[in-house]
Amino acid sequence: MKTKVAIIGTNGIPAKYGGFETLAEFLAKNLNKEFDISVYCSKKENEDKINTYLNSKLIYLPFKANGWQSILYDAFSIIHAFLHSEVLLILGFSGVFAFPLKIFFKKKKIIFNIGGIEWKKVRGSKIFGIFEITAKKIFEKICIHFSDIVVTDNKVLWDYVYEKYNIQSKLIEYGGDHAIKMPVTNELKNKYSFLNNHYDISISRSQEDMNIHLLIEAYKRIPNRNLVIISNWNSSNYGKKLIKDNQGKHSNIFFQDAIYELDILNAIRSNGKIYYHTHSLCGTAPSLTEAMNLGLPILCYDLDTNRSTTEEKSFYFKDSDSLINIVTNLTEMELKVLSKNMLSVASKRYTWKRITKLYKKCVQNLI
């Protein structure tokens, strides 16, 4: 009998959204021969439900994976998994209220991917923010306490967990080699006009900690370079304001709505001259490991986690002035070296073969 492993904390698979979903998909794909894998999926509206995918069982719950329902979704997923699986891989701490139930299921094992330092990502009013920070610190402590293995995706997070909890977590990043270079076709050029000229590119969610505004401010002053920004603009007031204040006012800046078709996204980003990674509250960002695997020359927001991910081999900016200084002085030779360095690091660290092997070892150490 194969060990039953449950993957909890994503929208489900097939992956259509973020890093956790892609992680779940590649774990299911690469480990289904060794383990009996179940993946918990959020409710789907107007979509056909499939019961199995990549030889893994899909279990649907009547809750959404995002927003306030994520707490119920993850908690009920954990309770169900305690009854039906032996090892629970829990991604993020939305299901925190179900973690203490482990005292009634002593033989069950939990691998907890902390995802990041969530209390640092609090947004909103000051009064509510203080409450949220305190709550998230407590949630983090509970999840770590009841976990058999804690996974961190960046050395900076590893250090944080060790210093705060005296626990040596397992450092496991994200693969990015599913991102493949694609050519720009005439069909794509007709659909996306910016593809007809050279361009730099950035892809992120429209949140203030993604620092999209820094790119816009910089490229207002670099009119000889084109910038394409792909984001889910209408999902936040931040994104809506950037569109309102800037769209159509700068001929070299293109605001593109989010693209979820991987082939199209790969074609657009893999043909950019420079890729900007602007996240300021992430660990090892999956979008960064993907860009590195594409061999793109990457400039990063100056953050300790970004420096760790790129092994200090990128160029780093903190504001629009430093960004302008870097990009206007980079030579073609430096861009080629940067591209080579990013691909070299990615080939060594950010492949799904390596990542799934490390998760496999975690499970094997618990059984």
Query: What are the structural domain ranges in the chain?
Result: 3-175+351-366, 186-349
Residue among 267, 99, 306 nearest 182 (CA): 267
- CB of 144 within 8 A of CB of 152? no
Given this model, what pLDDT does residue 127 score? 67
Alpha carbon of 93 to those of 22, 74, 355: distances in Å? 18, 8, 21
Hey, CA dihedral for 7, 11, 13, 17, is it positive or negative? negative
Given this model, what pLDDT does residue 47 score? 72
Given this model, what pLDDT does residue 126 score? 64
- Report the b/e string of 16-46 with b at 16+ CB within 10 A: eeebbbbbbbbbbbbbbeebbbbbbbbbeee
- Report the b/e string of 65-94 with b at 16+ CB within 10 A: beeebbbbbbbbbbebbbeebbbbbbbbbb
Q: In the chain, which residues have pLDDT < 50? A: none
Structure-token pair, residue 167:
């626990």
Domains 3-175+351-366 and 186-349 share a fold: yes
Full-model pTM: 0.93
Structure-token pair, residue 204:
């992120």
Given this model, what pLDDT does residue 119 score? 79
Homologous superfamily of the 186-349 domain (CATH): Glycogen Phosphorylase B; (3.40.50.2000)
Structure-token pair, residue 131:
């409450």
The β-bridge partners of 300 are 277, 316
Question: Which residue reads 């910038």 in tokens?
Answer: 227
CATH class name, domain 3-175+351-366: alpha beta
| pLDDT digits 0-9 by tens, 110-162 | 999 998 888 787 766 666 678 889 999 999 999 999 999 999 999 999 999 99
